[in-house]
Amino acid sequence: MDKKNVRGLNCKYDIKEYKKMVHTLLSQMEGVNVDNQGAYKDMLYMVFEHAPNLGAVWELFKNVDLGWLFTTENERVNFFVKFYQDTVRGTNAQNESSGAKLIEFYKIPEKMRGRMRSLLFSTLPEYAKTDEEPSSEHVHIIVKSVISKRYLSVHEVLDVLTELSEAKSLSRQCLLPDILNSECLEKDWRETPLSRKVDICKLWVITRLDSKSRVSSLSAIEKIATVYEAINEIMQCSLNITNTYLAQEISTYVVEKKLEGAKAISVLGAFASIEKCVAVVQNCYKSHVCKTLEQTPEMEKKLMIPNAILNECSKI
């Protein structure tokens, strides 16, 4: 059957009209020669194209009356997958927000999702980079997609975490600690090379600092305090909290990258904020203080740093 010769499919139908048309079509298909399967599949594909929405197509996916058109279940699933992939390449689907794409992915019948995992993997980083205001549904989908690992490999999960660590949106940055507090990722995070964990977490700390710096001008002390507050937040995550080496590597990198040349008076002046940090972060701060004091001339220390501050910092 030539698709060009099919008439009456040149418009979109409302849901009631569409269901009536599909019912009539399926009833007419009953008992037809299986040799004509290809022609009827073409007709069915065009019926999909004129569905009022994808939900109506997914209803057809569940329709057992279509089973005779396909030799195997695998063939049936592939038929619907092809239709969906052709649809998302269309102009309207391409222009959808990444949040809408995430929601749409989980509306797809479960049997089909695994074959379209690349769609999810491409949409998550896209979402991390946008300024689109996240809904609670978006947040739930992202966290579920990452921690379930049902449709993403471990390497893809780590790539998504990297994108979130560099996100300019504060709401997206907050997703990384949420994910690193999930027990579902414990085994994979534990087996992730330290260097990869450091890369993800140090980027997150730097992004947090840069975000705060864009909002308001930070004094030298505020900048140092902000760095350690961010390190503390990421190290408080249940998957990180006991990892002393991770804290040290993050701190060393960020201090060298963002706090190089900070005066001893400023480093010591931030101690009030560090008092609230977890032990591993306080130890990193102590190392920073010691290194800074070692590099500070004795005369400068005597002139610029009151004994009261030195005494207070020694308690941390």
Same domain flag for 219 and 146? no
Query: What does the block give as tokens for 21?
Result: 């048309």
Indicate whether 225 and 313 sit together in one domain. Answer: yes
User: Does 58 lie in the same domain as 10?
Assistant: yes
pLDDT of 6 strictly over 80: no
pLDDT band at 33 (very low <50, low <70, confident <90, very high): low
Res. 145: pLDDT tops 70: yes
Average pLDDT over residues 251-270: 90
Query: Cβ(28)–Cβ(69) under 8 Å?
Result: no
311 plus 226 within the same structural domain: yes
308 and 206 together in one domain: yes
Helical packing angle, 37-49 and 73-88, nearest 10°: 40
Q: Do both 313 and 206 map to the same domain?
A: yes
Q: Which of 188, 209, 238 lies at the terminal end of a domain, its last residue? A: 188
Report which of 248, 258, 246, 251 is spatially closest to residue 198, judged by C-alpha positions. 246
Last residue of a domain, which of 71, 95, 119? 95
Task: Give the residue with greater pLDDT, 227 vs 100.
Answer: 227
Q: What is the pLDDT of residues 279-294, one digit of tens each?
A: 999 999 989 988 888 8
Instruction: Tally the domains of the chain.
Output: 3
Give the pLDDT confidence score for residue 227 in this predicted structure.
Answer: 96
For the chain, counts of helices (H) and of strands (E) = 21, 0
Q: In terms of domains, do 60 and 121 share one?
A: no
pLDDT higher than 90, residue 141: no
Whether residues 147 and 67 share a domain: the answer is no
CB 216 within 8 Å of CB 193? no
pLDDT at 313: 56
Region 153-164: what's the mean pLDDT?
Answer: 93
Both 213 and 313 in a single domain? yes
Determine the average pLDDT of the residues in 234-248.
Answer: 95
- Provide the mean pLDDT of the chain: 83
What DSSP state is assigned to residue 140?
H
Mean pLDDT computed over 167-178: 90
- Together in a domain, 152 and 80: no
147 or 237, greater pLDDT: 237
State which amino acid sits at residue 189: W
Q: Is the pLDDT of residue 91 over 70?
A: no
User: Residue 303's domain spans which residues?
Assistant: 193-316
Percent of all residues in the chain with a pLDDT value above 70, rounded to a whole number: 86
* 252 and 284 belong to one structural domain: yes
Residue 236's pLDDT band, with cuts at 50, 70 and 90, is very high
Name the least confident of 28-42, 134-148, 261-275.
28-42
| 152's tokens | 């993403």
pLDDT digits (tens, 9 = 90+) for 179-225: 999 999 999 999 999 999 999 999 999 999 999 888 888 999 999 99
pLDDT given for residue 94 in this prediction: 58
DSSP element (H, E) containing 122? helix 117-129
Verify that 113 and 129 share a domain, yes or no. yes
- Whether 154 shows a pLDDT value over 80: the answer reads yes
Q: How confident is the model at residue 301 (pLDDT cuts 50, 70, 90)?
A: low
Question: Which residue from 259, 168, 165 is spatially nearest to 219, judged by alpha carbons?
Answer: 259
Q: Give the pLDDT mean for 53-77.
A: 83
Q: Determine which of 88-97, 131-140, 178-187 has the lowest per-residue pLDDT on average.
A: 88-97
Domain boundary among 135, 159, 188: 188
